[in-house]
């Protein structure tokens, strides 16, 4: 982003960028205020009840978990779109931050679609300096878990974020190990049915992670 500020064009009004940027900003603002907040209305009462010591029934638990998954995506994606639109109005192009993450059929793909700027930062400044995949399989898996643990702490100093990061580190470890196992046996992707099952499993794993992310950390002490 920084080299863009050295260009003369940044200091001039570009009405095309103004129009497109304003459209993106308004779309993001509408998504944040409408869809995102609507999901929070369903999930917040469930988490507040648990915080007060209640135990939700199965359906109530899913009513709390599923909107949490959508609200996190909608609100965060909306803020990203608002930032992208606002910067474009000033002729500065920010990178795309979300690419339909819940279409992912694996946790590896999920992190390539979800919060892409953070994913690249974790890769470039934590995973690769730790050794990445250059020091053998065991060290590679350890680096994945350490990176995701630190990525969890980046969101806040609470046990819920630590558990969320550790969970996603474990997910990534399993995903890479499964891919290596399939490659060693020469298995193919399995077609559309296998992709549907992989997508459903990825979705379920991510939802479980969001429950810890959203939960009150005082309940874990």
Catalytic machinery residues = 155
CB 167 within 8 A of CB 209: yes
Token pair 């474990």 is at which residue? 170
Q: Which residues contact 125 (CB under 8 A, 6 or more apart)?
A: none
Q: How many CA atoms lie within 13 A of 124 on its CB side?
A: 6
Q: What is the DSSP string of 49-86?
A: HHHTT----HHHHHHHHHHHHHHHHHHHHHHHHHHHHH
């Amino acid at each position: 982003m920084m080299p863009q500020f050295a260009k003369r064009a940044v200091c001039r009004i570009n009405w095309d960028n103004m129009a497109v940027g304003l459209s993106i900003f308004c779309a993001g603002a509408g998504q944040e205020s409408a869809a995102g907040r609507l999901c929070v209305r369903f999930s917040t009462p469930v988490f507040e009840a648990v915080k007060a010591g209640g135990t939700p029934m199965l359906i109530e638990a899913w009513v709390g978990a599923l909107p949490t998954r959508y609200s996190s995506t909608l609100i965060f994606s909306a803020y990203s779109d608002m930032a992208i639109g606002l910067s474009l109005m000033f002729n500065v192009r920010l990178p795309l931050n979300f690419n339909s993450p819940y279409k992912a059929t694996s946790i590896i793909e999920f992190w390539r679609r979800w919060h892409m700027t953070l994913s690249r930062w974790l890769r470039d400044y934590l995973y690769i300096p730790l050794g990445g995949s250059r020091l053998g399989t065991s060290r590679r898996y350890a680096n994945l878990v350490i990176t995701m643990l630190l990525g969890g702490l980046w969101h806040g100093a609470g046990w819920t974020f630590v558990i969320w990061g550790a969970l996603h580190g474990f997910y990534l470890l399993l995903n890479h190990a499964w891919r290596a196992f399939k490659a060693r046996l020469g298995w193919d992707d399995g077609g559309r049915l296998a992709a549907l099952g992989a997508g459903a499993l990825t979705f379920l794993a991510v939802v479980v992670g969001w429950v810890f992310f959203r939960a009150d950390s005082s309940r874990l002490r």
